[in-house]
Amino acid sequence: MKSKIYTLTVNTSERTQLLDITSKVEQVVKQSGVKEGMVHIFNPHTTAGLTINENADPDVASDILMELDKMVPLNDGYRHVEGNSAAHIKSSLFGVSLTVFVTGGRLVLGTWQSLYFCEFDGPRQRKVLVKVIE
Ligand code: ZN
């Protein structure tokens, strides 16, 4: 019975931000004891997302956020009264889940890849659910 769902807490500090959660997910994989399988990561929020992208140059993350703001402006005559439609749209563009292979108890990622929690309506305390499957 290794089917537990782990909950990670992510504290974001900006309105929009890409936060590297790779080491947190790796810790969960280690804790689960699963050596060969896959890990599923789910973001249960409607104004945040998940993605995999480059970890070597932090300018990549800021370029992504900069261009996203051009594609989906913060204010654009949206109807949603809460005022955070841009964040909802970005969440749907990025998606809310990731699946990564696990082998030898480690995540299978490309050399420059990291897992990112994408904050689009922060700063907030967020949760990320992680399940490791054998
Ligand atoms: Zn809203």
Domain count for the chain, please give it: 1
CA of 2 to the centre of ligand 1 (A): 35
Over the stretch 14-28, which tens digit does the pLDDT of each residue have? Answer: 999 999 999 999 999
Residue 32: the pLDDT is: 95
Burial of 36 (0-12, 13-18, 19+ CB in 10 A): exposed
Residue 3 in this model has a pLDDT that exceeds 90:
no
Over the stretch 44-91, which tens digit does the pLDDT of each residue have? Answer: 999 999 999 999 999 999 999 999 999 999 999 999 999 999 999 999
pTM score of the predicted model: 0.95
Structural domain boundaries, residue 74: 5-133
pLDDT band at 33 (very low <50, low <70, confident <90, very high): very high
CA of 123 to the centre of ligand 1 (A): 14
Residue with tokens 């994408």: 118
Residue 18: give its domain's CATH number.
2.60.120.460
